[in-house]
């Protein structure tokens, strides 16, 4: 109920009632898209959008750029870790060389 | 699956855990006592147990599982009201599946269904409205349940019913609101929390501004978080970083879904349909001022509470239940004498054992690593 699931809008079924078909991991279902439509993003622009669906309602358009950003930070943490690890190793090497 | 798999990467999780360990080593407080971080949302509790996140964290970091499971905090008296509505002749009572096993004082909805009441599980309030459309001679009641995450979907369904002039549909509104509840926790005299993991999907609706008082007034950090394991780990890391730097800010880890300003269309629907109740009763926590909503006068004809006479009785929780202390993080689930003995997921006594998002049920089913270590 609270977790929701990402899906992609594949077809507008009824623009006036804000009803669209979404594809959620291969399963198609009709949902209400009133909460992801506004003046800057009209109904007809919604096909192809990735949305988060809760209890039959698309509640948020997933921001691809932000999604990529979060993953990038995670990767950079990984890179930083690798770098720190390399520094530790090299320090150990140097230590050995010095002794 | 896109937007899921990439946030479940094991290697990245291992890296994050190392970063968390490094941060903890630099926090002096962590040498005196564990740092207590409450995840408010039941969805986070579920993820934490499902992916064994507690077991990955250093022992200096304790996760406290908060009151954010709307099924778990539903008081017995409200379940009794549901059963009373469902057992009226001519009524079709519709509910999310999660609520079926919540114990009332006499029976759960599951038991009422077995006894012959027409109770149907639905995935969406729109499905309930569709049942009403197809069966105009029956009264179809939808059990509106949840925080701000599901509040707009019920509201939009009511507005749709209004547009179509459907008169045999109503909502038994038990929607609750997060901010007064957080305030109640922060004002609790036995408070021992250092920071919060903020609810991702409530925030997707209300935005991040309503939490500012937590940072400004109570000086506690909060990071609004996504629900995948990497999201939760990254949020723990962000919280610890704030603690290390002596900051208390409201940060947003889940920006791919949560805009800082929330969702205007959803908030408009909420505002049109509901108004705050003076108070609402929570299982385990008691009555909290302004913590629930009801349908506005303009929507009275969709309000099951006005349509049907309800017993509306307050029923005390079972005396031995310690749900309240667990919800506030004062004790751990396994420290309740009923845990795993009289109270199990098959025969729950306390609400926290009912839903898979409840902390007792999660401990019971996934066996918290630290729980076992602590109990030994």
Hey, are the CB atoms on B12 and A55 less than 8 Å from each other? no
Q: Judge whether B25 is closer than 8 Å to chain A, CB to CB.
A: no
Nearest CA in chain A to B145: A1
Q: Judge whether A50 is closer than 8 Å to chain B, CB to CB.
A: yes
Residue B147 pLDDT greater than 90, yes or no = yes
Tens-digit pLDDT profile for residues A44-68: 999 999 999 999 999 999 998 888 8
Nearest to B44 by CA among B149, B191, B173: B149
Hey, are the CB atoms on B269 and A4 less than 8 Å from each other? no
Residue B374 pLDDT greater than 60, yes or no = no
At residue B256 the predicted structure's pLDDT band, cuts being 50, 70 and 90, is: very high
CB atoms within 10 A of CB A13: 12
Of A54, A67, A70, the CB nearest to B150: A54
Residue A74 pLDDT greater than 80, yes or no = no
Residues B211, B288, B356, B59, CA torsion sign: positive
* Nearest-10 Cα torsion for B71, B122, B153, A68: 80
- The conformational region for residue B203 under phi > 0 = left, psi -120 to 50 = alpha, else beta, is alpha
From A20's Cα to the closest Cα of chain B, the distance in A is 13
Nearest to B53 by CA among B194, B251, B226: B226
Cα B364 to Cα B68: distance, rounded to the nearest angstrom = 18
Tens-digit pLDDT profile for residues B219-242: 999 999 999 999 999 999 999 999
- For B45, phi then psi, to 5°, come to -55, -45
Tens-digit pLDDT profile for residues B288-332: 999 999 999 999 999 999 999 887 777 877 778 888 888 777 888
From A16's Cα to the closest Cα of chain B, the distance in A is 11
Parallel, antiparallel, or unpaired: how do β-strands B195-198 and B222-224 relate? parallel
User: What DSSP line would sit under A46-61, residue for residue?
Assistant: -TT-EEEEETTEEEEE
Mean pLDDT, range B2-31, rounded to an integer: 90
Cα B346 to Cα B364: distance, rounded to the nearest angstrom = 11
Q: What is the ipTM of this complex?
A: 0.89
| Per-residue pLDDT, A96 | 58
| Per-residue pLDDT, A83 | 61
Residue A92 pLDDT greater than 80, yes or no = no
At residue A82 the predicted structure's pLDDT band, cuts being 50, 70 and 90, is: low
In sequence order, the 6+-apart residues with CB closer than 8 A to the CB of B91 are B85, B117, B118, B138, B139, B140, B141
CB atoms within 10 A of CB A80: 12
Residue B34 pLDDT greater than 50, yes or no = yes
At residue B368 the predicted structure's pLDDT band, cuts being 50, 70 and 90, is: low
Tens-digit pLDDT profile for residues B55-70: 999 999 999 888 888 8
Mean pLDDT, range B132-157, rounded to an integer: 97
Mean pLDDT of chain B: 91
pTM of the model: 0.89
Residue A25 pLDDT greater than 90, yes or no = no
Q: Do B71 and B357 meet the contact criterion of CB atoms below 8 Å apart?
A: yes
Hey, are the CB atoms on B12 and A77 less than 8 Å from each other? yes
Tens-digit pLDDT profile for residues B288-298: 999 999 999 99
Of A25, A55, A77, the CB nearest to B15: A77
């Amino acid at each position: 109920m609270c977790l929701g699931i990402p899906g992609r809008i594949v077809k507008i079924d009824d623009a006036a009632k804000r009803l669209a078909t979404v594809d959620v991991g291969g399963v198609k279902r009709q949902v209400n898209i009133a909460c992801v439509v506004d003046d800057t993003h009209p109904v007809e622009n919604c096909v192809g959008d990735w949305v988060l669906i809760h209890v039959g309602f698309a509640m948020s358009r997933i921001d691809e750029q932000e999604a990529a950003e979060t993953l990038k930070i995670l990767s950079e943490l990984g890179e930083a870790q690798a770098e720190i690890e390399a520094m530790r190793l090299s320090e150990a090497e140097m230590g050995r060389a010095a002794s | 699956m896109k937007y899921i798999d990439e946030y479940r990467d094991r290697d990245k999780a291992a890296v994050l855990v190392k970063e968390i360990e490094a941060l903890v080593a630099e926090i002096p407080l962590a040498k005196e006592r564990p740092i207590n971080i409450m995840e408010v949302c039941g969805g986070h509790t579920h993820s934490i147990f499902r992916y064994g996140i507690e077991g990955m964290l250093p022992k200096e970091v304790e996760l406290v599982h908060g009151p954010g499971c709307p099924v778990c905090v539903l008081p017995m008296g409200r379940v009794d009201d549901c059963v009373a509505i469902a057992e009226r002749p001519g009524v079709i009572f519709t509910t999310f599946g999660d609520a079926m096993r919540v114990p009332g004082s006499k029976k759960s909805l599951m038991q009422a269904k077995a006894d012959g009441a027409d109770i149907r599980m639905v995935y969406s309030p729109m499905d309930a409205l569709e049942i009403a459309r197809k069966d105009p001679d029956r009264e179809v009641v939808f059990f509106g349940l949840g925080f701000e995450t599901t509040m707009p979907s019920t509201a939009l369904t009511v507005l749709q019913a209004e547009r179509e002039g459907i008169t045999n549909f109503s909502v038994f509104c038990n929607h609750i609101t997060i901010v007064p509840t957080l305030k109640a926790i922060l004002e609790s005299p036995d408070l021992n929390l250092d920071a919060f993991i903020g609810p991702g999907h409530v925030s997707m609706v209300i935005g991040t501004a309503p939490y500012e008082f937590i940072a400004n007034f109570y000086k506690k950090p909060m990071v609004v978080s996504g629900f995948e394991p990497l999201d939760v780990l990254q949020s723990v890391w962000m919280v610890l970083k704030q603690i290390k730097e002596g900051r208390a800010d409201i940060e947003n880890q889940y920006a791919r879904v949560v805009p800082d300003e929330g969702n205007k269309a959803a908030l408009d629907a909420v505002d049109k349909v509901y108004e705050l109740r003076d108070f609402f009763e929570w299982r385990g926590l008691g009555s909290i001022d302004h913590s629930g909503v009801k349908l506005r006068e303009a929507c009275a004809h969709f309000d099951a509470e006005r349509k049907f006479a309800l017993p509306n009785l307050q029923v005390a929780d079972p005396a031995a239940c310690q749900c309240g202390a667990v919800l506030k993080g004062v004790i751990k689930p396994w420290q309740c004498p009923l845990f795993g003995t009289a109270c199990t997921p098959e025969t729950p006594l306390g609400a926290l054992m009912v839903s898979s998002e409840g902390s007792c049920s999660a401990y019971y089913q996934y066996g918290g690593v630290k729980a076992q270590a602590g109990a030994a």
